[in-house]
Homo-oligomer: A and B are copies of this chain.
Protein backbone atom coordinates (compact mmCIF):
# COMPACT_ATOMS: atom_id res chain seq x y z
CA UNK A 1 0.00 0.00 0.00
CA UNK A 2 1.33 3.39 -1.09
CA UNK A 3 0.85 6.17 1.46
CA UNK A 4 0.55 9.70 0.09
CA UNK A 5 -1.03 11.75 2.92
CA UNK A 6 -0.70 12.00 6.70
CA UNK A 7 -1.93 8.62 7.94
CA UNK A 8 -2.20 7.24 11.47
CA UNK A 9 -0.59 3.81 11.52
CA UNK A 10 -1.46 1.26 14.18
CA UNK A 11 0.74 -1.71 14.99
CA UNK A 12 -1.80 -4.25 16.23
CA UNK A 13 0.85 -6.62 17.62
CA UNK A 14 2.29 -3.87 19.84
CA UNK A 15 -1.20 -2.82 20.92
CA UNK A 16 -2.13 -6.41 21.84
CA UNK A 17 1.11 -6.80 23.79
CA UNK A 18 0.32 -3.60 25.71
CA UNK A 19 -3.22 -4.78 26.49
CA UNK A 20 -2.02 -8.22 27.54
CA UNK A 21 0.65 -6.78 29.85
CA UNK A 22 -1.86 -4.57 31.67
CA UNK A 23 -4.59 -7.26 31.78
CA UNK A 24 -2.12 -9.73 33.28
CA UNK A 25 -1.00 -7.19 35.86
CA UNK A 26 -4.58 -6.50 36.91
CA UNK A 27 -5.35 -10.21 37.07
CA UNK A 28 -2.28 -10.92 39.20
CA UNK A 29 -3.22 -8.08 41.53
CA UNK A 30 -6.81 -9.31 41.68
CA UNK A 31 -8.33 -5.97 40.66
CA UNK A 32 -10.94 -5.38 37.98
CA UNK A 33 -9.42 -4.10 34.74
CA UNK A 34 -11.72 -1.37 33.39
CA UNK A 35 -9.64 0.22 30.60
CA UNK A 36 -10.35 3.75 29.43
CA UNK A 37 -11.45 3.70 25.81
CA UNK A 38 -11.03 7.44 25.19
CA UNK A 39 -7.55 6.72 23.81
CA UNK A 40 -8.63 4.69 20.79
CA UNK A 41 -12.39 5.56 20.53
CA UNK A 42 -12.76 2.59 18.18
CA UNK A 43 -15.21 -0.33 18.29
CA UNK A 44 -12.72 -2.58 16.53
CA UNK A 45 -9.75 -1.74 18.76
CA UNK A 46 -12.14 -2.13 21.70
CA UNK A 47 -13.03 -5.63 20.51
CA UNK A 48 -9.37 -6.65 20.85
CA UNK A 49 -9.72 -6.25 24.64
CA UNK A 50 -12.33 -9.03 24.70
CA UNK A 51 -9.58 -11.61 24.21
CA UNK A 52 -8.13 -10.50 27.54
CA UNK A 53 -11.43 -11.00 29.37
CA UNK A 54 -12.27 -7.30 29.49
CA UNK A 55 -16.01 -6.72 29.91
CA UNK A 56 -16.13 -3.40 31.77
CA UNK A 57 -14.85 -0.19 30.26
CA UNK A 58 -14.37 3.51 30.97
CA UNK A 59 -15.18 6.41 28.64
CA UNK A 60 -14.98 10.19 28.99
CA UNK A 61 -18.26 11.42 27.51
CA UNK A 62 -21.89 10.42 27.16
CA UNK A 63 -21.44 10.35 23.38
CA UNK A 64 -18.59 7.85 23.72
CA UNK A 65 -20.69 5.74 26.09
CA UNK A 66 -23.52 5.57 23.55
CA UNK A 67 -21.06 4.60 20.79
CA UNK A 68 -19.57 1.71 22.78
CA UNK A 69 -23.00 0.61 24.07
CA UNK A 70 -24.10 0.44 20.43
CA UNK A 71 -21.06 -1.75 19.84
CA UNK A 72 -21.93 -4.37 22.43
CA UNK A 73 -20.40 -3.03 25.66
CA UNK A 74 -22.81 -3.44 28.56
CA UNK A 75 -20.84 -2.18 31.56
CA UNK A 76 -19.56 1.37 31.14
CA UNK A 77 -18.31 4.06 33.51
CA UNK A 78 -18.35 7.64 32.24
CA UNK A 79 -15.35 9.00 34.15
CA UNK A 80 -16.20 12.67 33.74
CA UNK A 81 -18.35 14.82 36.07
CA UNK A 82 -21.93 14.08 35.00
CA UNK A 83 -23.41 16.78 32.80
CA UNK A 84 -26.98 17.18 34.06
CA UNK A 85 -28.06 18.67 30.72
CA UNK A 86 -27.49 15.23 29.18
CA UNK A 87 -29.81 13.49 31.67
CA UNK A 88 -32.14 12.20 28.98
CA UNK A 89 -29.38 10.32 27.12
CA UNK A 90 -27.94 9.11 30.42
CA UNK A 91 -31.36 7.84 31.45
CA UNK A 92 -31.96 5.98 28.20
CA UNK A 93 -28.50 4.44 28.35
CA UNK A 94 -29.01 3.39 31.98
CA UNK A 95 -32.11 1.52 30.82
CA UNK A 96 -30.04 -0.58 28.39
CA UNK A 97 -26.71 -1.25 30.12
CA UNK A 98 -24.96 -1.15 33.49
CA UNK A 99 -24.01 2.48 33.51
CA UNK A 100 -21.88 4.22 36.12
CA UNK A 101 -21.48 7.96 36.27
CA UNK A 102 -19.40 10.30 38.37
CA UNK A 103 -20.74 13.11 40.55
CA UNK A 104 -19.12 15.61 42.88
CA UNK A 105 -21.83 18.04 43.98
CA UNK A 106 -25.20 18.08 45.69
CA UNK A 107 -26.64 20.09 42.79
CA UNK A 108 -25.80 17.34 40.31
CA UNK A 109 -27.17 14.64 42.60
CA UNK A 110 -30.43 16.53 43.13
CA UNK A 111 -30.91 17.22 39.43
CA UNK A 112 -30.23 13.63 38.42
CA UNK A 113 -32.43 12.13 41.14
CA UNK A 114 -35.28 14.26 39.86
CA UNK A 115 -34.69 13.36 36.21
CA UNK A 116 -33.57 9.72 36.06
CA UNK A 117 -36.10 6.91 36.03
CA UNK A 118 -33.52 4.15 35.53
CA UNK A 119 -30.96 3.12 38.16
CA UNK A 120 -27.39 4.28 37.56
CA UNK A 121 -24.22 3.50 39.50
CA UNK A 122 -22.65 6.50 41.19
CA UNK A 123 -19.01 7.18 41.95
CA UNK A 124 -17.94 10.26 43.83
CA UNK A 125 -15.18 11.97 41.86
CA UNK A 126 -12.38 12.22 44.41
CA UNK A 127 -9.39 14.51 44.22
CA UNK A 128 -6.26 12.96 45.75
CA UNK A 129 -4.02 15.89 44.86
CA UNK A 130 -4.28 16.49 41.13
CA UNK A 131 -6.39 19.59 41.78
CA UNK A 132 -8.36 19.47 38.52
CA UNK A 133 -11.79 18.53 39.80
CA UNK A 134 -13.53 16.28 42.32
CA UNK A 135 -14.12 16.49 46.07
CA UNK A 136 -10.92 16.65 48.08
CA UNK A 137 -10.35 13.12 49.47
CA UNK A 138 -9.79 14.59 52.92
CA UNK A 139 -12.94 16.68 52.90
CA UNK A 140 -14.97 14.17 54.93
CA UNK A 141 -17.69 16.68 55.67
CA UNK A 142 -18.63 17.12 52.02
CA UNK A 143 -18.25 13.40 51.38
CA UNK A 144 -20.66 12.60 54.23
CA UNK A 145 -23.13 15.18 53.00
CA UNK A 146 -23.08 13.73 49.46
CA UNK A 147 -23.37 10.16 50.71
CA UNK A 148 -26.25 11.01 53.04
CA UNK A 149 -28.07 12.55 50.12
CA UNK A 150 -27.31 9.56 47.88
CA UNK A 151 -28.82 7.24 50.54
CA UNK A 152 -32.17 8.89 49.91
CA UNK A 153 -31.96 8.59 46.10
CA UNK A 154 -33.90 5.76 44.53
CA UNK A 155 -32.06 5.60 41.21
CA UNK A 156 -28.60 6.82 42.18
CA UNK A 157 -26.82 3.74 43.51
CA UNK A 158 -23.67 4.76 45.36
CA UNK A 159 -20.75 2.49 44.44
CA UNK A 160 -17.62 4.17 45.66
CA UNK A 161 -14.86 6.70 45.09
CA UNK A 162 -13.13 7.28 41.78
CA UNK A 163 -9.89 9.19 41.36
CA UNK A 164 -7.62 10.10 38.48
CA UNK A 165 -4.14 10.88 39.75
CA UNK A 166 -3.32 13.05 36.75
CA UNK A 167 -0.50 14.78 38.61
CA UNK A 168 1.64 11.76 37.71
CA UNK A 169 2.03 13.54 34.35
CA UNK A 170 3.93 16.38 36.02
CA UNK A 171 6.59 14.14 37.57
CA UNK A 172 10.24 13.83 36.71
CA UNK A 173 10.92 10.36 38.17
CA UNK A 174 9.30 6.97 38.73
CA UNK A 175 9.74 7.51 42.47
CA UNK A 176 7.53 10.55 42.30
CA UNK A 177 4.85 8.62 40.38
CA UNK A 178 5.05 5.91 43.05
CA UNK A 179 4.63 8.47 45.83
CA UNK A 180 1.53 9.93 44.16
CA UNK A 181 0.04 6.48 43.74
CA UNK A 182 0.79 5.59 47.37
CA UNK A 183 -0.61 8.86 48.65
CA UNK A 184 -3.78 8.41 46.56
CA UNK A 185 -4.17 4.88 47.90
CA UNK A 186 -3.81 6.00 51.51
CA UNK A 187 -6.28 8.84 51.07
CA UNK A 188 -8.87 6.60 49.42
CA UNK A 189 -8.43 3.83 52.01
CA UNK A 190 -8.76 6.29 54.90
CA UNK A 191 -11.93 7.66 53.32
CA UNK A 192 -13.31 4.16 52.87
CA UNK A 193 -12.56 3.30 56.49
CA UNK A 194 -14.17 6.49 57.70
CA UNK A 195 -17.38 5.68 55.80
CA UNK A 196 -17.30 1.92 56.42
CA UNK A 197 -19.98 1.83 59.12
CA UNK A 198 -22.61 3.42 56.94
CA UNK A 199 -21.34 2.05 53.63
CA UNK A 200 -19.64 -1.31 54.08
CA UNK A 201 -19.25 -2.10 50.36
CA UNK A 202 -17.40 0.96 49.05
CA UNK A 203 -15.40 0.36 45.85
CA UNK A 204 -12.20 2.26 45.04
CA UNK A 205 -11.52 3.00 41.37
CA UNK A 206 -8.05 4.21 40.40
CA UNK A 207 -6.86 5.46 37.04
CA UNK A 208 -3.89 6.83 35.16
CA UNK A 209 -1.43 5.20 32.82
CA UNK A 210 1.86 6.28 34.45
CA UNK A 211 1.03 4.69 37.85
CA UNK A 212 -0.52 1.56 36.37
CA UNK A 213 2.39 1.09 33.94
CA UNK A 214 5.26 1.78 36.30
CA UNK A 215 3.93 -0.14 39.31
CA UNK A 216 2.05 -3.35 39.96
CA UNK A 217 0.97 -3.07 43.56
CA UNK A 218 -2.74 -2.28 43.27
CA UNK A 219 -3.56 -3.37 46.81
CA UNK A 220 -6.55 -1.58 48.23
CA UNK A 221 -8.01 -0.66 44.85
CA UNK A 222 -10.97 -2.54 43.44
CA UNK A 223 -10.41 -1.54 39.85
CA UNK A 224 -7.89 0.25 37.64
CA UNK A 225 -8.78 2.44 34.65
CA UNK A 226 -5.63 3.19 32.61
CA UNK A 227 -6.29 4.09 28.97
CA UNK A 228 -3.31 5.50 27.14
CA UNK A 229 -1.26 2.29 27.75
CA UNK A 230 -3.01 0.57 24.79
CA UNK A 231 -1.07 2.80 22.40
CA UNK A 232 1.36 4.67 24.66
CA UNK A 233 3.18 7.70 23.22
CA UNK A 234 6.21 9.92 23.49
CA UNK A 235 4.92 11.49 26.70
CA UNK A 236 4.62 8.09 28.37
CA UNK A 237 8.08 7.06 27.17
CA UNK A 238 9.40 10.36 28.53
CA UNK A 239 7.72 9.61 31.90
CA UNK A 240 9.22 6.12 31.97
CA UNK A 241 5.91 4.29 31.52
CA UNK A 242 7.02 2.47 28.36
CA UNK A 243 9.84 2.09 25.87
CA UNK A 244 9.68 3.88 22.52
CA UNK A 245 9.29 0.43 21.01
CA UNK A 246 6.02 -0.17 22.91
CA UNK A 247 4.31 2.77 21.18
CA UNK A 248 1.68 1.21 18.94
CA UNK A 249 0.76 4.23 16.80
CA UNK A 250 2.82 6.38 14.47
CA UNK A 251 1.82 9.14 12.09
CA UNK A 252 3.15 8.61 8.57
CA UNK A 253 3.86 12.04 7.09
CA UNK A 254 5.25 13.08 3.69
CA UNK A 255 8.39 15.22 3.39
CA UNK A 256 7.55 18.33 1.38
CA UNK A 257 10.61 20.57 1.83
CA UNK A 258 14.17 20.58 3.17
CA UNK A 259 16.27 23.42 4.61
CA UNK A 260 19.94 22.44 4.61
CA UNK A 261 21.16 25.69 6.18
CA UNK A 262 19.22 24.99 9.37
CA UNK A 263 19.00 21.18 9.15
CA UNK A 264 15.21 21.23 9.05
CA UNK A 265 12.78 18.99 7.22
CA UNK A 266 9.20 20.14 6.54
CA UNK A 267 6.46 17.52 6.63
CA UNK A 268 2.77 17.65 5.96
CA UNK A 269 1.78 16.92 9.54
CA UNK A 270 0.69 19.75 11.85
CA UNK A 271 -1.58 20.71 14.70
CA UNK A 272 -4.61 19.33 12.82
CA UNK A 273 -2.94 15.91 12.87
CA UNK A 274 -0.99 15.83 16.16
CA UNK A 275 -2.64 18.47 18.36
CA UNK A 276 -0.12 20.69 20.14
CA UNK A 277 0.75 18.64 23.23
CA UNK A 278 4.48 18.72 23.82
CA UNK A 279 7.24 17.38 25.99
CA UNK A 280 10.14 19.50 27.09
CA UNK A 281 13.67 18.18 26.47
CA UNK A 282 16.48 20.38 27.80
CA UNK A 283 14.01 23.24 28.03
CA UNK A 284 12.94 22.94 24.40
CA UNK A 285 9.54 21.70 23.22
CA UNK A 286 9.26 18.50 21.20
CA UNK A 287 6.08 17.48 19.38
CA UNK A 288 7.04 13.96 18.29
CA UNK A 289 9.95 11.59 17.67
CA UNK A 290 10.77 10.99 14.03
CA UNK A 291 11.65 7.47 12.86
CA UNK A 292 12.43 5.94 9.48
CA UNK A 293 9.33 4.41 7.89
CA UNK A 294 9.72 1.14 6.02
CA UNK A 295 6.49 0.48 4.11
CA UNK A 296 3.92 0.57 6.91
CA UNK A 297 6.41 -0.34 9.65
CA UNK A 298 8.90 1.49 11.78
CA UNK A 299 11.89 0.42 13.84
CA UNK A 300 12.70 2.68 16.80
CA UNK A 301 16.40 1.91 16.31
CA UNK A 302 16.25 4.15 13.26
CA UNK A 303 15.59 7.47 14.90
CA UNK A 304 15.90 10.50 12.63
CA UNK A 305 15.11 13.52 14.81
CA UNK A 306 12.20 15.27 16.46
CA UNK A 307 9.43 17.73 15.59
CA UNK A 308 10.53 21.10 16.96
CA UNK A 309 7.53 23.16 15.84
CA UNK A 310 4.00 22.69 14.58
CA UNK A 311 1.62 24.99 12.77
CA UNK A 312 -1.80 24.09 11.38
CA UNK A 313 -0.55 21.79 8.60
CA UNK A 314 3.27 22.03 8.81
CA UNK A 315 5.63 20.08 11.04
CA UNK A 316 9.23 21.29 11.34
CA UNK A 317 11.69 18.47 12.05
CA UNK A 318 15.20 18.99 13.38
CA UNK A 319 17.66 16.34 12.19
CA UNK A 320 21.37 15.77 12.70
CA UNK A 321 23.69 16.41 9.71
CA UNK A 322 24.28 12.73 8.96
CA UNK A 323 20.52 12.09 8.66
CA UNK A 324 19.72 15.17 6.62
CA UNK A 325 21.18 13.98 3.33
CA UNK A 326 19.45 10.62 3.52
CA UNK A 327 15.97 12.12 3.60
CA UNK A 328 14.36 13.10 0.32
CA UNK A 329 11.36 15.15 -0.66
CA UNK A 330 8.57 12.65 -1.21
CA UNK A 331 9.74 10.27 1.55
CA UNK A 332 7.24 9.27 4.19
CA UNK A 333 8.48 9.46 7.79
CA UNK A 334 7.00 7.89 10.93
CA UNK A 335 6.33 10.18 13.89
CA UNK A 336 5.68 8.81 17.37
CA UNK A 337 3.13 11.32 18.72
CA UNK A 338 3.44 13.09 22.07
CA UNK A 339 -0.18 12.38 22.97
CA UNK A 340 -1.74 9.42 21.18
CA UNK A 341 -5.26 10.13 22.53
CA UNK A 342 -5.42 13.59 20.93
CA UNK A 343 -3.73 12.41 17.73
CA UNK A 344 -6.24 9.57 17.33
CA UNK A 345 -9.11 11.93 18.06
CA UNK A 346 -7.93 14.26 15.29
CA UNK A 347 -7.24 11.58 12.69
CA UNK A 348 -10.52 9.68 13.10
CA UNK A 349 -9.18 6.52 11.46
CA UNK A 350 -6.31 4.04 11.77
CA UNK A 351 -4.44 2.07 9.15
CA UNK A 352 -2.96 -1.08 10.67
CA UNK A 353 0.58 -2.05 9.71
CA UNK A 354 -1.13 -4.97 7.94
CA UNK A 355 -2.95 -2.49 5.71
CA UNK A 356 -6.44 -2.61 7.21
CA UNK A 357 -8.45 0.57 7.78
CA UNK A 358 -10.14 0.85 11.19
CA UNK A 359 -12.84 3.40 11.91
CA UNK A 360 -13.48 5.41 15.09
CA UNK A 361 -16.33 7.21 16.80
Binding site for B on A (CB under 8 A): 2-5, 38, 60-63, 80-86, 89, 104-105, 107-108, 111, 125, 131-134, 166, 254, 256-259, 262, 266, 268, 271-272, 275-277, 309, 311-314, 316, 328-330, 332, 341-342, 345-346
Contacts and interface: CB of A to CB of B under 8 A. Distances in A.
Contacts of A342: 271-272, 312
A107 B311 CA distance: 24
Given A81-B257, A277-B276, A330-B85, A316 B61 contact: no
A146 to B, nearest CB: 13
A258 B134 CA distance: 9
Given A4-B86, A108-B256, 7 more contacts: A84-B330, A85-B332, A86-B254, A105-B257, A107-B329, A125-B257, A272-B345
Nearest to A258: B105
B341 A312 contact: yes
Given A107-B330, A332-B85, A311 B132 contact: yes
A268 B62 CA distance: 11
Contacts of A268: 61, 80-81, 83
B166 A311 contact: yes
A104 B257 contact: yes
A232 B73 CA distance: 42
A267 to B, nearest CB: 9
Given A105-B258, A342-B271, A5 B86 contact: yes
A60 B107 contact: no
A-B pairs, top 4 by smallest CB distance, nearest first, are A4-B85, A81-B256, A276-B276, A107-B329
A134 B266 CA distance: 10
A256 B60 CA distance: 13
A329 B84 contact: yes
Contact of A3 (B2, B61, B85): B85
Contacts of A107: 328-330
Contacts of A328: 107
A104 B265 CA distance: 13
Most chain B Cβ neighbours within 10 Å, of A5, A83, A89, A271:
A83
B80 A313 contact: yes
A308 to B, nearest CB: 11
A332 B84 CA distance: 11
